Amino acid sequence: MNTVERTKGNLIASALVCCAVVFQPTANAADANANLEPNRDQPMINPAASAQQATTITLLGTMGGPPEDPSGRRAQSSTLLTVNGVHYLIDAGDGVVSRLIKAGVPPYTVRKVFLTHRHLDHTAGLTAFMSQSWFNGWFFRDKYYMDRSTTKPFVEIYGPPDTSTLFEGSMKFLSVSARDADAIGSGTMKLPQEVFSVRTIEKPGVFFNDGTVKVTAIENTHFGIPMPGPIAKNGDFSFAYRFDTPSGSVVFTGDSGPSENITKLAEGADVLVSEVLDFKLLTTESWGVGITKAPNPEQIRSHMERKHLSPEEIGKMAAKAGVKLVILSHVVPGDVSPKYFVEFVAAVKKYFSGPVILGQDLFQYSMVKQ
């Protein structure tokens, strides 16, 4: 089958080697990066690809950590996985709603959300996502949002135990508008509690299977080396996820330091979507250099170096796991000159011989089962 390879702007794609994958940026992605895309008028869609039989990764937000990107090119961390036309959202950092809309995906069409951990760069857009899902679901007269004869929530938000705290806060926020909406006579609108539910993942392993997609969670090292046994009831807990789909498998590291658990989870996976962090650049080149003025710089350094992934560590894990492709997202720092991104990719490739892509917002990658 055809394989398309392309280098665009500050996105660095190396040669694709797997014959079952198609690199398929959309018109939306090209529009969003018009100033970075010198060849945007060339045909970019492989005609063999079909949205109905594909697994597509859409990077919605690729910025990690507290500094927001002053250029606006990178929103905070979130990724959409679309399998045979059904959407699965992984994390919901600030900007998730605007990126979904840019990608042509109304928020109300996303019914499954998977949070990796509680940090704000992965969750600050959750309330906005739920608000716009509910509001627009009603506005567009989606039957699931309108039919008051059924009360089973159909938007499910999965995550570690802290997710329920975030969820309850978002529901309280939504309850104010829900009262108003009823009062002005919309009448047919389902209440938020009939739309949204939270599902706490109680233990590592397979926790989701809808007949098409199977999702497995493991604890990573973002909050330290995990203890054996049941997961904590609340507090420091962070997941990596593996999605097995008919067209391929995708592993999301979430935020993590080097992790044997992730390496095992990613064994033989088609794609590893990994966070990446360079502490030195963060303290010298980024808008977020204020971190150097913190009263506890050594503690911060230790957190960044042990509980996040350098490009070299990603390369080692990817090689050991035998994944076919690495996509770097949650880029820290993500607001520096693109010349540094070339170095990120080169550093991963010191240890990993497969293709490596430095992600940018609205970049898409599709796998099509042949």
Residues in contact with Zn ion by CB under 5 A are: 64, 119, 121, 255
Minimum CB separation from Zn ion for residue 159, in Å? 13
Q: Which is nearer to Zn ion, 266 or 331 (CB)?
A: 331
* Token pair belonging to 306: 């042990």
Question: CB of 76 within 8 A of CB of 63?
Answer: yes
Minimum CB separation from Zn ion for residue 225, in Å? 16
Q: Which is nearer to Zn ion, 26 or 127 (CB)?
A: 127
Q: Which is nearer to Zn ion, 244 or 275 (CB)?
A: 275
Q: Which is nearer to Zn ion, 83 or 113 (CB)?
A: 113
The strand pair at 239-245 and 214-219 is best described as antiparallel
Q: Which is nearer to Zn ion, 44 or 332 (CB)?
A: 332
Q: Which is nearer to Zn ion, 120 or 191 (CB)?
A: 120
Q: Which helix (H) or strand (E) holds 175?
A: helix 163-183
Identity of the amino acid at 309: L
Distance, CA of 370 to chain centre = 26
Minimum CB separation from Zn ion for residue 330, in Å? 6
Minimum CB separation from Zn ion for residue 116, in Å? 8
The strand pair at 196-200 and 86-90 is best described as unpaired
* 3-state SS, residue 354: coil
Q: Which is nearer to Zn ion, 330 or 349 (CB)?
A: 330
Identity of the amino acid at 255: D
Q: CA-CA distance, 350 to 252, in Å (whole number)?
A: 21
Minimum CB separation from Zn ion for residue 64, in Å? 4
Minimum CB separation from Zn ion for residue 91, in Å? 8
Minimum CB separation from Zn ion for residue 98, in Å? 19
Please list the helix, strand and coil fractions of the chain in percent, rounded to the nearest 5, in that order.
Answer: 30, 25, 45
Q: CA-CA distance, 29 to 58, in Å (whole number)?
A: 9
Q: CA-CA distance, 175 to 192, in Å (whole number)?
A: 7
Beta strands, E only, the chain: 21-22, 54-61, 78-83, 86-90, 112-114, 155-159, 196-200, 205-209, 214-219, 239-245, 248-252, 271-277, 325-332, 356-358, 364-368
Sheet holding 155-159, edge to edge: 21-22, 364-368, 54-61, 78-83, 86-90, 112-114, 155-159, 196-200
Question: CB of 24 within 8 A of CB of 46?
Answer: yes
Minimum CB separation from Zn ion for residue 350, in Å? 24
Minimum CB separation from Zn ion for residue 194, in Å? 32
Q: Which is nearer to Zn ion, 119 or 242 (CB)?
A: 119
Q: Which is nearer to Zn ion, 121 or 162 (CB)?
A: 121
CA-CA-CA-CA torsion sign (160, 165, 168, 170): negative
